[in-house]
């Protein structure tokens, strides 16, 4: 590679200053206007990857200097950067209409986030909802931080051979080519979260993705200090191996809340997108015990009061269940820190009238530690109480349903022609409840 191609993004020509920040902002991954920037830089790579960060990194010094001399290109860059800066500082709906709200921060935990093809850490609807929630939070100015996992391979891609047979492919995710950066502590060092596993400590790396003013933190176990098996824990989304699946949920739940503490973030609300992060409630309770010097039962009640759980699937077989022996093997020392009995902890995850050795279902675990429950549609609000008797046993009701924030983003996620129609159809919604429908070129 010629020496001139080695210039880092931080060495952009003055006329293109800030373009690297735009490339890392996932708010702009669905912007028709910004798309023209990446198409101009490298149309072939943009069409294949839809990854602004990778496209910008493919550009060498000579190409950057040539682009910097193009006034029309620079004008487009300035226009997008000025719009981004304005959106980062101006009061949005939450600041205008809910200025008196006591909510300071809500933490949204999810096993997957569907934000962009450039960040392939999602499989389907659960991830798309999570991504839409973060995008809508940015558009509305709601103080939300996301917490998830960064996968080395993510979910499989499907391919058909000449005979029409399906094959599952797991292309590697290269963090250096993704729109993320290593998360740093207050001293400027890279964040690493230790997590105790049986007979060893697993170290978790932390990454940061930005969606406008909203931050998404991602944990992975691919740290050089870990053994080969532990480095592969966060290899694939939804591993078929039960123990690996349990390890992933430990990382997301326990590790995710410890990450909040390491960042000195103190969310008022913990929102669990499905039960994969249920252990975050326990870690939150443990932190309350430590800070307030109260018992586990009191701390759990406090943590429960500030927790919301969204469930997606009205089929009992869709919920994770783990062998109690596996739970105890990984949480034995942790249970001691909680000053709680093993049976007391397992009871949180045991279905009504379940035997002590029955599988540990996450739906009961998370429900018993949750103050409010929501589902993803009116339809499932009717079905889930019938299929999840644990909810009735715990005296809990699905009190609300929610949908994604995609309505606010139709104009910039659809093709530009359809986006213009969507903008006109939903313009009136801007005046009702802060539905900030962006114009088609945003």
Instruction: Please list the pLDDT of the chain residue by residue as tens digits (442 residues).
Output: 333 333 444 489 999 999 999 999 998 866 778 999 999 999 999 999 999 999 999 999 999 999 999 999 999 999 999 999 999 999 999 999 998 999 999 999 999 999 998 999 999 888 988 999 999 999 999 999 999 999 999 777 788 888 989 888 888 899 999 999 999 998 999 999 999 999 999 999 999 999 999 999 999 999 999 999 999 999 999 888 999 999 999 999 999 999 999 999 999 999 999 888 989 999 999 999 999 999 999 999 999 889 988 877 666 655 678 888 898 899 988 888 888 888 888 877 666 555 555 554 443 344 444 545 554 445 444 444 444 544 433 333 444 555 555 555 555 556 666 666 666 665 555 444 444 333 333 4
Quick one: tokens of 111? Answer: 């096993």
pLDDT of residue 416: 61
Whether residue 95 is contained in a domain is answered as: no
Whether residue 30 is contained in a domain is answered as: yes
**End of a domain among 90, 111, 130?**
90
Q: Which pTM was predicted?
A: 0.84
CA Rg value for the chain: 23
Nearest to 27 by CA among 178, 183, 150, 137: 137
**End of a domain among 46, 65, 90?**
90
pLDDT of residue 298: 94
Statement to judge: residues 364 and 267 lie in one domain: yes
Whether residue 284 is contained in a domain is answered as: yes
Statement to judge: residues 326 and 428 lie in one domain: no
pLDDT of residue 369: 47
Structural domain harbouring 13: 3-90
Angle at 236 between CA 231 and CA 242, to 5 degrees: 85
Name the region of 279 (left: φ>0; alpha: ψ -120 to 50; beta: rest).
Answer: alpha
Whether residue 222 is contained in a domain is answered as: yes
Statement to judge: residues 21 and 115 lie in one domain: no
Whether residue 307 is contained in a domain is answered as: yes
pLDDT of residue 397: 40
pLDDT of residue 133: 92
Statement to judge: residues 397 and 263 lie in one domain: yes
> Which phi and psi (to 5°) does residue 146 adopt?
-95, 150
Statement to judge: residues 260 and 303 lie in one domain: yes
pLDDT of residue 214: 97
- Using the CB atoms, write b or e for 105-138: b if 16+ within 10 Å: ebbbbbbbbbbbebbbbbbeebbbbbbbbbbbbb
pLDDT of residue 124: 83
**End of a domain among 34, 56, 90?**
90
Whether residue 345 is contained in a domain is answered as: yes
Statement to judge: residues 164 and 303 lie in one domain: yes
Statement to judge: residues 41 and 168 lie in one domain: no
pLDDT of residue 442: 41
pLDDT of residue 182: 97
Statement to judge: residues 53 and 163 lie in one domain: no
Count of the separate structural domains present in the chain? 3
Statement to judge: residues 278 and 313 lie in one domain: yes
Statement to judge: residues 262 and 335 lie in one domain: yes
Sign of the C-alpha dihedral computed for residues 354, 245, 282 and 338 taken in this order: positive
Whether residue 36 is contained in a domain is answered as: yes
pLDDT of residue 365: 46
At 304, which CATH number?
3.40.50.2000
pLDDT of residue 310: 83
Statement to judge: residues 38 and 105 lie in one domain: no
- Tally Cβ neighbours within 10 Å of residue 175: 15
CB 130 within 8 A of CB 146: yes
Statement to judge: residues 413 and 392 lie in one domain: no
């Amino acid at each position: 590679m010629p020496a001139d191609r080695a210039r880092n993004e931080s060495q952009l020509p003055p006329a293109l200053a800030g373009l690297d920040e735009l490339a890392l902002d996932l708010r702009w991954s669905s912007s028709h206007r910004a798309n023209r920037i990446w198409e101009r830089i490298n149309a072939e790579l943009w069409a294949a990857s839809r990854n602004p960060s990778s496209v910008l990194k493919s550009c060498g010094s000579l190409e950057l200097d040539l682009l910097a001399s193009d006034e029309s290109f620079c004008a487009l860059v300035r226009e997008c950067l000025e719009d981004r800066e304005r959106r980062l500082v101006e009061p949005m709906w939450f600041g205008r209409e809910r200025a008196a709200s006591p909510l300071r921060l809500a933490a949204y935990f999810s096993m997957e986030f569907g934000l962009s093809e450039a960040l392939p850490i999602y499989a389907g609807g659960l991830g798309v909802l999570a991504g839409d929630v973060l995008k809508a939070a940015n558009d509305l100015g709601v103080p939300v931080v996301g917490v998830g996992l960064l996968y080395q391979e993510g979910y499989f891609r499907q391919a058909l051979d000449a005979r029409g047979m399906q094959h599952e492919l797991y292309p590697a995710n290269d963090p250096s080519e993704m729109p993320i950066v290593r998360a740093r502590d207050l001293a400027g060092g890279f964040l690493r979260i230790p997590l105790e596993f049986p007979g060893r400590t697993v170290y978790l790396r932390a990454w940061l993705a930005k969606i406008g003013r909203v931050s998404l933190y991602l944990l992975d176990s691919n740290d050089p200090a870990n053994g080969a098996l532990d480095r592969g824990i966060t290899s694939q989304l939804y591993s078929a191996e039960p123990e690996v699946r349990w390890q992933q949920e430990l990382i997301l739940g326990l590790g995710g809340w410890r990450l909040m503490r390491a960042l000195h973030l103190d969310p008022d609300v913990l929102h669990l997108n499905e039960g994969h992060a249920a252990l975050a409630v326990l870690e939150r309770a443990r932190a309350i015990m430590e800070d307030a010097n109260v018992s586990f039962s009191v701390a759990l009640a406090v943590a429960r009061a500030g927790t919301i759980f969204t469930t997606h699937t009205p089929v009992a077989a869709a919920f994770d269940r783990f062998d109690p022996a596996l739970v105890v093997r990984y949480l034995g020392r942790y249970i001691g820190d909680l000053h709680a009995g093993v049976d007391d902890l397992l009871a949180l995850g045991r279905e009504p009238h379940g035997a002590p050795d029955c599988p540990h279902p996450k739906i009961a675990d998370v429900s018993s530690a949750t103050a409010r429950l929501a589902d993803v549609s009116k339809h499932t609000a009717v079905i889930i109480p019938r299929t999840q008797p644990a909810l009735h046993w715990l005296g809990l009701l699905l009190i609300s349903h929610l949908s994604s924030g995609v309505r606010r983003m139709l104009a910039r996620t659809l093709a530009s022609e359809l986006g213009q129609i969507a903008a006109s159809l939903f313009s009136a919604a801007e005046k009702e409840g802060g539905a900030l429908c962006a114009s088609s070129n945003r």
